[in-house]
Amino acid sequence: MVVVMRKVCPIRSVPGKPIPSIRTSALSSNVDVPGAPVHPTARGIACWTILAAMKRLWLGLIAAASACSTSASKLDSVATGAGSAVAAQDAGTAPSRGTPRTPRKPLTLTYLGVAGWQITDGTTTVLVDPYFSRPTLDAAMASDPAAVAKHAPAKADLVVVGHSHVDHLLDAPAVALKSGAQIMGSISTTRYARAVGMPEDRVIPVQGGEDYDFGAVSVRVLPSLHSALDEKHWDGQRTEIAADPKLPLTFDGFAAGGTFGYLIRIGGHEVLVLSTANYIERELVGLTPDIAIVATGLRQELYDYSCRLMRATGSPAHVLTTHFDAWREPLEPTPPLDAETRADLAAFEAEIHACAPSTVVTTPERWKPIVIE
């Protein structure tokens, strides 16, 4: 830098006096500059001012390079941590969300028909949208105690309800009462549950966005959307069950009340539940479930339903189909799937494999447990 200064800025001193070496504050309070002008001319002042600015720029570049090096080191640390998380997942531990990792246990998932599921790790049991009664839909409807007694488990910890249509909500409070479970759902769901007789301390109202810890299980509530009914013209997404519902309700009385997906963490697994064929993509981005329970009916009304879902959720290892059977038909005997439904399920499996070739897609049989390690 000094050599450049001498070449660029001419040195002028008082005749008969040697050129001194002085400390110049214009460049740095810690830098001695030999030959700095003692009696500078206007041209000299301008020249040294420019060179001082050049030095500040040079020092700034050095500082920026140092900061970049530090940032790169931090990024390497983050990448190393992410790689460790992937390795841990491959080794059989659940992804962490700020809580200690939980070793995986075998998880048993049993399809109950329509959008209903029983999920258990052998100790804790969560039920999703249990619906056993299958009443006539053109009259007022109530839960069938005999159907609930026959099919509901003796013990459960939590019942989650995706939305408040009859085929998701009708039996949920009765099942919760029988099994000792709490019930979680929208304001409409909780209004109906209280009207049926659920005690207040077992009713959990949610609005979407909650992430609740129950000890052995935790549940993240995902704001979502109902499938696109009436060729996209249905306007009932936000209709609600009345504040003081008069039972029994008719089909129309079971208003949707808003729709939720659920991320259920249980037994070291993360289970994503979408009980109607729609979702809000931004609510799913970054989730890493190893199991996804996915509704298939009317997905054709949505753009790229299957692959968008796989990309958003990191292509879960297992996808289980739901809400594909004849929900208007009696629960028993279980009718075989018709040709159209079988073809639609095969098309869904092909859609998933087109963008997630290693994902295992399973269409469940009612009452037949599926065990995932």
pLDDT tens string 9-25: 444 444 444 444 434 33
What is the pLDDT at residue 56? 67
What is the pLDDT at residue 186? 98
The mean predicted confidence, pLDDT, of the chain is 83
The model carries a pTM of 0.75
What is the pLDDT at residue 63? 57
At 226 the three-state DSSP class reads coil
The answer to whether the peptide bond before residue 248 is cis (omega within 30 degrees of 0) is yes
Q: Out of 46-55, 88-97, 109-118, pick the least confident.
A: 88-97
* Mean pLDDT, range 37-61, rounded to an integer: 52
* Mean pLDDT, range 263-290, rounded to an integer: 98
What is the pLDDT at residue 109? 99
Question: Which of the two residues, 265 and 73, has the higher pLDDT score?
Answer: 265
Q: Between β-strands 158-160 and 125-128, what pairing exists: parallel, antiparallel or unpaired?
A: parallel
Contact 228, 181 (CB under 8 A): no
Rounded distance, CA 53 to CA 27, Å? 8
* Mean pLDDT, range 143-165, rounded to an integer: 98
Residue 273: closest CA among 324, 220, 229, 236: 220
Percent of the chain's residues with pLDDT above 90:
68
pLDDT higher than threshold 50 for residue 77: no
What is the pLDDT at residue 219? 98
Alpha helices in 254-322 (DSSP H): 281-284, 305-313
pLDDT higher than threshold 70 for residue 62: no
Contact 51, 44 (CB under 8 A): no
Q: What is the pLDDT of residues 232-256, one digit of tens each?
A: 999 888 899 999 999 999 999 999 9
What is the pLDDT at residue 49? 53
Tokens representing 279 are 């979702």
Please, how many CA atoms are within 13 Å of residue 197, restricted to the half-sphere of its CB?
10
Rounded distance, CA 18 to CA 13, Å? 8
